[in-house]
Structure 1
Amino acid sequence: MAQDKHLKETAVAWQQFIGTGHLHQPSVPQVVLASWQNCRERGVDPWENRKIQAGFVPGQEVAALRITRSRRRPAETLKAIGEFADENRVVLSVYDNQGNFIEPLNHQFPSSMADQLGVSSLFLGQLTEDMSGTNAVTLAMREAATVRLAGYEHYHSWFHAFSCSAAPLRDGRGHIAGAVGASSLDVHQPVMVLPFLRCVADLYQHWRWLEYDRNKTRYWQGVQLMTSSPDPPKMPNPLNQLVGYSHEMKVVKEKLAAVAQSELPVMLTGESGVGKEVAAQVIHQLSARRKGPLIAINCGALSETLAETTLFGYGRGAFTGARSVGKPGLIEASHGGTLFLDELESLSPTVQVMLLRCLAEKKILPVGGTEERPVDFRLVSASKITGEQALAEGVWRADFYYRIGGYDIAIPPLRHRREDIPLLMEVLLKQLAETMGRAIPRLTEEAISCLCHYPWPGNVRQLKNLMEQLLITCQNDEITISDLPEIIRYHSAWLNRGAEAGSVTTAGNQGAIQWTPAGDGKKLLNHLERQMARQVLKESDGNISEAARRLGISRPTLYRIIKDTREEV
């Protein structure tokens, strides 16, 4: 049969396109090929099923929508539509012009088939190319025409067993307002489904979509479908994710805001746990690439071989066990967005050379591949050591550093911005309490002061872990100093505070807790840093490397602190 021949040719074309990114002799419709190219450019993984299955609307919500909508429609007409869809074993649904699921039109077949496939339902909450790859609903609205896709014409492998049709819906002014879709778990969809679908679309247009009312809410025959406004709601400032009002954090926020709009590569440096990944998210959300993907990779978790295939992907048959069609890498997945490489000091010289060429040429060559692919991404990287230190210790090649080091931003450790600790604790306790379903306890002034004296070698990450621990172990609505771990309340910085102890005050209308070091704050912080270094060095029997490891700092930094300590004495 001609249809079977077309399906086989499409399967070959799909495998060729997934493997190489192009077709030697296009054997699929141009509209399908254009959609495949869009999916590839946006980094849609044709093999990842979890994202698809996580997007299904739960069955009970589908049932509730069906009951609510049916109250406003002719019951006999809806029943006839549903019965026809069930008899022809299709999943019939309506989507708005953004690809958002609006309502189901049948129930029996979708429920039984979902049970057989082991999924929550067969109604996707959103049908877009970013979410599910090439699909009939998106193409019907894009082409303003009825569309049918079968088998491998779908970009995502999960849909290769399906055939899907869709007819566009128009509002009173002729604009595309959505689409009606019909999906069959069979590559040979019954021929009568397509004309039936056109009739359903005409019927819906007869019922008519209504435009925005005075409250700027879209309705269908008086039943609210979704709340939306021509004026998008004001989004929160991404910079607010970096909690703190200290001078150090104000400087960091100013630098992030200044560099975000540019295309300069950014290098974030700082100790483990200071919030470098949050800073990377802020840069992405403030940039012109915020609608694109943010791909974060921890280079410290990758061996050299794994780093190559993870970053650059691999071609067909690149190694034993490789997929027959190859697999795109995460650099390609970041196309149009931001690539965040954390713990960059762990990257091997070989991978540095590969990445250097990629940054210079804006192209990648998959491992074992023969053809380069264009990529467009903005690089944000992070390291526990500075660029100068990485060069001095031979961690990075000089040409690699000068390529990635467009703009350096140092994220200060928590001990250098102690006045931010009370606000951080307040925010973290609130977030964790909401997640755990607990009441938010109050920290006593003595507990706050003790926590502000502690040097926090694990920085914000360590503070968050402690707040979670206190929420679990706290037996009442108040956290006192006796609730704190011994390592904190018996730390020398607290026990030897003497006259240098800071003060806890309540400020502002919201009653925010603030901690202010006595006297010159900068001088006090330096003194505490030197005092802690002396104590740890003593406990390490004078071993510089061991003391630096315990403090979470580099050996040069510890040498500087020791030098300052001797000058102070």
Structure 2
Amino acid sequence: MAQDNHLKETAVAWQQFIRSGHLHQPSVPQAVLTSWKNCRDRGVDPWENRRIQAGFVPGQEIAALQMTKSRRRPAETLEAIGRFADENHVVLSIYDNQGNFIEALNHQYPEAMAKKLSVPSLFLEQLNEDLSGTNAVTLAMREAATIRLAGCEHYHSWFHAFSCSAAPLRDARGNIAGAVGASSLDMHQPMMVLPFLRCVADLYQHWRWLEYDRNKNRYWQGIELMKPTPDTPAKPNPLNQLVGMSHEMKLVRERVAAVAQGELPVMLTGESGVGKEVAAQVIHQLSARRKGPLIVINCGALSETLAETTLFGYERGAFTGARSAGKTGLIEAAHGGTLFLDEVESLSAATQAMLLRCLAEKKIMPMGGTEERSVNFRLMTASKIPGEQAVAAGVLRADFYYRISGYDISIPPLRHRREDIPLLMETLLKGLAEAMGRDIPRLTEEAISCLCHYPWPGNVRQLKNLMEQLLITCQAAEIRMADLPETIRYHSAWLNRGAEASSVTPAGNHGSSQWTSASDGKKLLTHLERQMARQVLKESDGNISEAARRLGISRPTLYRIIKDTREEV
């Protein structure tokens, strides 16, 4: 009963983690949760089964491996191990320290279950987090301990029907050389399986010692025993492209991650330059269609006269001047992938009407054609005007809007999330400097403060253009206040910044002298520094080094600000 409750709690925790990327109250072992996070960071799709089923070792290869077994291992012992595994309905196998399949230790039960599940075998060619997600073999080697996983403790949904156990194998020097694993379709795997695995591991370690001592080499069955386990570079998480530590951007990332797994149409709204196309790319990269094309159509540049041929294509001889081979439309080019209509509010009413039937039935009729063609794509759109406002203003047809707005995600402008500006500047400078082959310059605290006050009407796009401009015009290792454009240095938001911090301005000091007094200006700048430091420290969970990195200042400088903040309080 307790195990059944644990399985149910784990299933709930897995669903919550897949949706949001975190757990409010972790109810799974820390090693499992860490592996889940690794899988998510590496972009492992928990629903994609084709790679799993294509990765099974064919039966004939397993039989060939059996013929190469070392004669130094007693046949009677191997047969006894296989009988025990078959009788207890487990799939018993050996993997090396890279997760590569070495050999199968039983055959009767695995062959029967493979036929039942319609797969070539139940022995995967490789067991690692990149391919198969969280698994007992990988965790046993990582934790150097016997591991048991059941049901939804596996990250990949294909393995939720299995319970799996594994024990690590060590070489003659005590290094992890592989693992022996046991998998079963029974969630209540027999308790004697774990001690049995440890016994098998002891036997294999003894046989390996003999092999090493007699041959004075580092190989066993052609597999290098002493091969060090390299640090596999993690695949970048597409969500990291949505830079920001503000509450608003955290919500955007959560919504993007949640909606990416489905097929609903997505409508992204926000001002020009906030990153709607970046969000669309992230959704596509996280979706099951990521191997298909992402076709971006700038509706603002789509003239009404050319809309039909651009979107739907045309057949040979459809009109005078048409290509002899005809032309594939952009909608058909998105087949198997994602179609992204940017600035969708710019489409004419006639073009919206043309698109309605295509979006409803996923069929197109090229100009001059006589037969419809089926297309399979996911739709995403972007608009500078919120959908319902666009309908009220007559910019979007109501029926068209309700067809394209399965899920709406609003991306806030930069001025509404100023705390993201320092991190954005750091990220942009790093990427641009690396592309130019330059060292990454440092922004002074005064320059950062000034840039954080600026309202950024062009949002992230404008900020990126400025960072590139500064890299070109400023060749020093430090970007100072004087290097910023005059439009930013002398903007009213910076010159009148004291209005935001009037609570620290000396009583009775009003009027123009408030802004021109050097001592008052210094107080206001200090106050802003403290506000930013408190916020970044909070977001960094009190980690001084991480907070200093995000702020672009040294640790001693941050310590000074913290000390001044405490004295102020």
Q: Does 1:262 align with 2:265?
A: no
For residues 2-49 of structure 1, give each alpha carbon's deviation from its aligned partner in whole angstroms, at most 9, with x where no partner exists: xxxxxxxxxxxxxxxxxxxxxxxxxxxxxxxxxxxxxxxxxxxxxxxx
Partner Cα separation in structure 1 for residue 493 and residue 454 of structure 2: 6
* 1:229–1:489 distance in 2 versus 1, CA, 3 Å: farther
Partner Cα separation in structure 2 for residue 475 and residue 257 of structure 1: 39
* 1:214–1:259 distance in 2 versus 1, CA, 3 Å: closer
Query: Does the 8 Å CA contact 1:289/1:336 hold for their aligned counterparts?
Result: yes
Structure 1: stretches of 5+ with no match in the other structure? 1-141, 143-169, 176-211, 219-227, 516-569
For residues 312-352 of structure 1, give each alpha carbon's deviation from its aligned partner in whole angstroms, at most 9, with x where no partner exists: 11112112221223111111111111111101011111111
Q: Which residue of 2 aligns with 1:90?
A: none
Partner Cα separation in structure 2 for residue 445 and residue 348 of structure 1: 48
Q: Which residue of 2 aligns with 1:513?
A: 550
Query: Does the 8 Å CA contact 1:280/1:380 hold for their aligned counterparts?
Result: yes
- Aligned letter for 2:256? L
SS of the residue aligned with 2:550?
strand
Q: Which residue of 2 aligns with 1:407?
A: 407
Equivalent positions of 1:101-112 (< 5 A) are none
Structure 2: stretches of 5+ with no match in the other structure? 1-53, 55-59, 66-94, 102-124, 131-231, 501-523, 538-542, 553-569
Partner Cα separation in structure 2 for residue 174 and residue 357 of structure 1: 56
Query: Does the 8 Å CA contact 2:276/2:411 hold for their aligned counterparts?
Result: yes
Give aligned pairs, total.
Answer: 302
How many Å apart are 1:419 and its aligned residue? 0.1
Partner Cα separation in structure 2 for residue 362 and residue 437 of structure 1: 46
- Aligned letter for 2:409? I
Partner Cα separation in structure 1 for residue 448 and residue 307 of structure 2: 43
Q: Which residue of 2 aligns with 1:398?
A: 398
Equivalent positions of 1:60-459 (< 5 A) are 231=128, 232=130, 234-459=234-459
Q: Which residue of 2 aligns with 1:199?
A: none
Most deviating of 244-253 and 282-291: 282-291
SS of the residue aligned with 1:340?
strand
For residues 390-431 of structure 1, give each alpha carbon's deviation from its aligned partner in whole angstroms, at most 9, with x where no partner exists: 112211111111111111111100000000000000000000
* 1:482–1:375 distance in 2 versus 1, CA, 3 Å: same
Partner Cα separation in structure 2 for residue 459 and residue 307 of structure 1: 30
Query: Does the 8 Å CA contact 1:310/1:329 hold for their aligned counterparts?
Result: yes
Q: Which residue of 2 aligns with 1:120?
A: none
How many Å apart are 1:173 and its aligned residue? 8.5
SS of the residue aligned with 1:388?
helix
Q: Which residue of 1 aligns with 2:481?
A: 481
Partner Cα separation in structure 2 for residue 427 and residue 450 of structure 1: 18
Partner Cα separation in structure 1 for residue 456 and residue 475 of structure 2: 25
- Aligned letter for 2:461? R
- Aligned letter for 1:304? E
SS of the residue aligned with 1:296?
strand
How many Å apart are 1:355 and its aligned residue? 0.9
- Aligned letter for 1:434? E
Query: Does the 8 Å CA contact 2:274/2:460 hold for their aligned counterparts?
Result: yes
Partner Cα separation in structure 2 for residue 306 and residue 324 of structure 1: 18
Partner Cα separation in structure 2 for residue 390 and residue 217 of structure 1: 56
- Aligned letter for 1:259? V
Query: Does the 8 Å CA contact 2:100/2:127 hold for their aligned counterparts?
Result: no
How many Å apart are 1:251 and its aligned residue? 1.1
Query: Does the 8 Å CA contact 1:289/1:338 hold for their aligned counterparts?
Result: yes
Query: Does the 8 Å CA contact 1:419/1:514 hold for their aligned counterparts?
Result: no
Q: Which residue of 2 aligns with 1:126?
A: none
Partner Cα separation in structure 1 for residue 288 and residue 260 of structure 2: 8
Query: Does the 8 Å CA contact 1:299/1:307 hold for their aligned counterparts?
Result: no
- Aligned letter for 1:358? C
Q: Which residue of 1 aligns with 2:470?
A: 470
How many Å apart are 1:249 and its aligned residue? 0.5
Query: Does the 8 Å CA contact 1:363/1:372 hold for their aligned counterparts?
Result: yes
Partner Cα separation in structure 2 for residue 290 and residue 512 of structure 1: 33
Q: Which residue of 1 aligns with 2:45?
A: none
For residues 466-494 of structure 1, give each alpha carbon's deviation from its aligned partner in whole angstroms, at most 9, with x where no partner exists: 00011111131111111000000100000
SS of the residue aligned with 2:305?
helix
SS of the residue aligned with 1:295?
strand
Identical amino acids, percent of aligned pairs? 76
Query: Does the 8 Å CA contact 2:338/2:379 hold for their aligned counterparts?
Result: yes
Partner Cα separation in structure 1 for residue 316 and residue 375 of structure 2: 20
Partner Cα separation in structure 2 for residue 173 and residue 419 of structure 1: 61
For residues 345-378 of structure 1, give each alpha carbon's deviation from its aligned partner in whole angstroms, at most 9, with x where no partner exists: 1111111111110011110011221110001111
What is the RMSD computed on CA atoms of the aligned residues?
2.6
- Aligned letter for 1:513? R
Partner Cα separation in structure 2 for residue 429 and residue 235 of structure 1: 22
